[in-house]
């Protein structure tokens, strides 16, 4: 449930209510809004006497929360969560574009991509070094060598970097290099991994599983939140349907729905959603129009030579054009780029 305090509630009354709830064996999350304070209560499975709390000084009312996700829900935390990443903030008025190759392949490939996306106005550099490939014979990523290249690209361009972590044992290593930890679609329900990134001191970009519901995505975020990390960015990257012209089907309604259900920022990955570079620009515009807080886009200096996802990777000039064509859409929905 949540406890809505009166506008006139004093600090002492809030402390008192919080202490009582904790005494009853529940956890609290305090959310201080502009007008009033809301206390989120996470139960311990035993029924809680709401009337007892409602009789306390300073309490206006209590509201039961029937949704299974609590910490991730907007009821618990009405204001938007902002996720700072070095000099940028994800979830504010400014749209954040994360771009770069699917996989880090070599020094020259990564640096060429990094400078190209930076010059076009991207805010974060992406690049996978641990790649979840369908075939064990496909390129699996450069591992730690790739992380060192990402660190070099960050030093040279100043762009923070995001990269995927596939296993709990990789979290300490990836955390020493990356500014954002990416949880891939195939690992959205890898609970040991969610636990590990929940304890990591880094923002996490959590991708929706290709066969997962919105509620399952929010429950996965709840795992990370319940282990202490509230710097989460949700990512809609398309789900699997019967349609074959696109690699996945972008669930555009997930964007406003997630923003309604949760306080966490939401970004869209138009590259994996469509699988086709010709579709990336219009789908990016649609994502921004629908209220996304940012985009995750694959860009490769020579897509025809890419070791993974070449068909959906943009050439640098096409990415630069996309960035220009996002401007009017961003402005139309009151956002900046």
For 171-206, give one letter per residue: b (16+ CB within 10 A) or e. Answer: beebbebbbbbbbbbbbbbbeebbebbbebebbbbb
- Asked whether 312 and 280 are in contact (CB, 8 A), the reply is yes
Using the rule CB under 5 A, is 309 a contact of Mn ion?
A: yes
DSSP classification of residue 325: H
DSSP strand E in 154-308: where? 161-164, 180-183, 204-207, 232-236, 266-268, 294-298
Minimum Å gap between C-beta 18 and ligand PEP is 39
- Comparing CB distances to ligand PEP, the nearer of 38 and 307 is 307
Among residue numbers 115 through 174, which ones bind ligand PEP (CB under 6 A)? 128, 132
Using the rule CB under 6 A, is 300 a contact of ligand PEP?
A: no
Pick from 3, 9, 96, 102: which binds Mn ion (CB under 5 A)?
102
Name the binder of 141 from Mn ion, ligand PEP, none, CB < 5-8 A by kind.
none
x/- binding map, residues 183-222, to ligand PEP, per CB under 6 A?
A: -xxx--------------------x---------------
- Comparing CB distances to ligand PEP, the nearer of 38 and 165 is 165
Structure tokens at 102: 């699917």
d(CA 97, CA 295): 5
- Asked whether 274 and 301 are in contact (CB, 8 A), the reply is no
Among residue numbers 220 through 249, which ones bind ligand PEP (CB under 6 A)? 237
Using the rule CB under 5 A, is 164 a contact of Mn ion?
A: no
Name the binder of 202 from ligand PEP, Mn ion, none, CB < 5-8 A by kind.
none
Rg (CA), the chain: 21
DSSP classification of residue 291: T
How many residues bind ligand PEP (CB under 6 A)? The answer is 10
- Asked whether 1 and 26 are in contact (CB, 8 A), the reply is no
Among residue numbers 78 through 117, which ones bind ligand PEP (CB under 6 A)? 102
Which residues form the interface with Mn ion (CB under 5 A)? 102, 309
Which residues form the interface with ligand PEP (CB under 6 A)? 102, 128, 132, 184-186, 207, 237, 269, 272
């Amino acid at each position: 449930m949540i406890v809505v305090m009166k506008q006139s509630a004093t600090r002492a009354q809030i402390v008192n209510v919080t202490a009582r709830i904790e005494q009853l064996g529940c956890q609290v999350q305090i959310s201080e809004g502009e007008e009033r304070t809301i206390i989120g209560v996470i139960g311990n499975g035993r029924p809680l006497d709401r009337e007892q709390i409602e009789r306390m000084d300073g309490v206006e009312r209590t509201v039961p929360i029937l949704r299974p996700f609590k910490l991730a829900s907007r009821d618990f935390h009405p204001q938007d969560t902002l996720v700072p990443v070095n000099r940028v903030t994800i979830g504010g008025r400014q749209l954040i574009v994360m771009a770069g190759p699917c996989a880090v392949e070599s020094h020259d490939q990564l640096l060429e991509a990094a400078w190209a996306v930076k010059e076009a106005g991207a805010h974060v550099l992406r690049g996978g070094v641990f790649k979840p490939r369908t075939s064990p014979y496909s390129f699996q990523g450069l591992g730690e060598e790739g992380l060192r290249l990402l660190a070099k690209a960050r030093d040279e361009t100043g762009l923070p970097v995001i990269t995927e972590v596939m296993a709990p044992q990789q979290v300490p290593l990836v955390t020493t290099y990356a500014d954002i930890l990416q949880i891939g679609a195939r690992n959205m329900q890898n609970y040991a991994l969610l636990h590990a990134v929940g304890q990591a001191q880094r923002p996490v970009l959590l991708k929706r599983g290709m066969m997962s519901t919105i509620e399952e995505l929010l429950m996965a975020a709840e795992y990370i939140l319940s282990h202490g990390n509230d710097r989460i960015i949700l990512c809609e990257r398309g789900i699997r349907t019967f349609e074959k012209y696109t690699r996945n089907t972008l669930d555009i309604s997930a964007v406003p729905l997630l923003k309604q259900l949760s306080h966490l920022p939401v970004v869209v990955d138009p590259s994996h959603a469509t699988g086709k570079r010709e579709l990336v620009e219009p789908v990016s515009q649609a994502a921004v129009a629908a209220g996304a807080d940012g985009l995750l886009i694959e860009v490769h200096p020579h897509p025809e030579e890419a070791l993974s996802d070449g068909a959906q990777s943009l050439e640098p000039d096409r990415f630069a054009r996309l960035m220009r064509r996002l401007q009017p859409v961003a402005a139309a929905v009151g956002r900046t780029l």
